[in-house]
A = this chain, B = another copy of it.
Amino acid sequence: MQNNKGKKVSIKEIAKICDVSVATVSRVINNNGRFSEATRIKVEKAIKKYGYTTNMAAKSLRSSHSKTIGVIVPNIDNEFFSAVVLKLEKIFFDNGYSVFICNTSQNDQKEIDYFKSLDSKLVDGIICITGRNEIPSDVIQRDIPIVCIDRKPSMDSDAYYIESDNYLGGFIATEELIKKGCKNIVILSRLKTLSPNIQRLEGYKDALKKHNIEFNQNYVVQLNNSQSNFDGANESIQRLIENNFKFDGIFATNDWRAYGALVALQKYNIPVPEKVKIVGFDGIPVSEYCYPPITTISQNKDMIAKEASTILLDLINKTNIPEKRHTVIPVELIVRETT
């Protein structure tokens, strides 16, 4: 019986070596009273000598907390999501939790499978940034808390939900363009059924209304789902230019789309912001680093991660049950050189 990774000693073998019961070894391991000091020394010595290690999964079957959190995200290569996930990871880790990130690639079956998988690994809670409008919480067997970010869970769900003020973001993005003189504003969007996109479009419409500009469906450009945000926006704007479509402002509902639009305008030597102005959304690095840097609606990733993790930890620890199920995080207009 060696301390060898191939041959592991069991708790039974430790008990036999020490001539005590398995229950006694377990009590020593869990420091759960009812054993003599001599027994403790004997058992701890044997555990050390034979390299016995308690199995965390076995432990978590008995105790209620596994000190792990699952984070479900549609795409970690989306910089907004990856920034929020990294901030969540840091907060949970600082609170003693390991974080398992699961990437669903916006695939419904994968999302369901990851919910099941995280459940079976006995995570204490789940943060879900879903690609769907419904979270498949019914596949979870245990009663663990779930907090959603960005995408609204279905109406009858009782999950907690944190989102940016997408409506206000759409409104102030559009108003910034109007204030700088734009009259014909294209909105570049995608996946029109997702709640953030619906709300940003509503904000756009209401800003037009406030400034007596008539809403025109032709100015709502829906990108192709099969293309990247950059490519989709780039090609859409090139097509508008080639068709002599009249526009002087672009509200792109994310920053990669804004950048794709900017590069399309540059290709046709249309000066930005002189002839066409652009506002993006998210506040991710590309908007800051591209040339000229893009005016954008910044989502507060720190506050989103802070709120979501605080609520989840409160629910796990049952210390302070948050009353409000829906939290809206303010957004901010960052004026740069495209408006």
A interface list, Cβ under 8 A from B:
5-6, 8, 51, 53, 55-58, 60-61, 68, 75-77, 79, 82-83, 85-86, 89-90, 93, 98-103, 105, 110, 113-114, 117, 120-122, 140-143, 228, 230, 259-260, 263, 266, 285-286, 289-291
- Give this chain's copy count: 2
- Interchain nearest-CB distance for A94 vs B (Å): 10
Set of chain B residues within 8 Å of A57, measured between Cβ atoms: 57, 60-61, 120-122
Set of chain B residues within 8 Å of A85, measured between Cβ atoms: 76, 103
Judge whether A5 and B142 touch: CB under 8 Å: yes
With A5-B141, A56-B120, A102-B101 in contact, do A76 and B68 touch (Cβ < 8 Å)? Answer: no
Set of chain B residues within 8 Å of A140, measured between Cβ atoms: 5
- Interchain nearest-CB distance for A230 vs B (Å): 6
Judge whether B291 and A291 touch: CB under 8 Å: yes
Judge whether B141 and A53 touch: CB under 8 Å: yes
Set of chain B residues within 8 Å of A102, measured between Cβ atoms: 98-101
Judge whether B98 and A101 touch: CB under 8 Å: no
A14 and B263 alpha carbons, distance in the complex (Å):
64
With A79-B77, A121-B121 in contact, do A86 and B113 touch (Cβ < 8 Å)? Answer: no
A58 and B142 alpha carbons, distance in the complex (Å):
14
Set of chain B residues within 8 Å of A90, measured between Cβ atoms: 105
With A5-B141, A57-B60, A291-B263 in contact, do A86 and B98 touch (Cβ < 8 Å)? Answer: no
- Interchain nearest-CB distance for A329 vs B (Å): 20
Judge whether B105 and A103 touch: CB under 8 Å: no
- Interchain nearest-CB distance for A238 vs B (Å): 14
Judge whether A77 and B82 touch: CB under 8 Å: yes
Question: Which one of B55, B98, B110, B142 lies within 8 Å of A93 (CB-CB)?
Answer: B110
- Interchain nearest-CB distance for A303 vs B (Å): 18
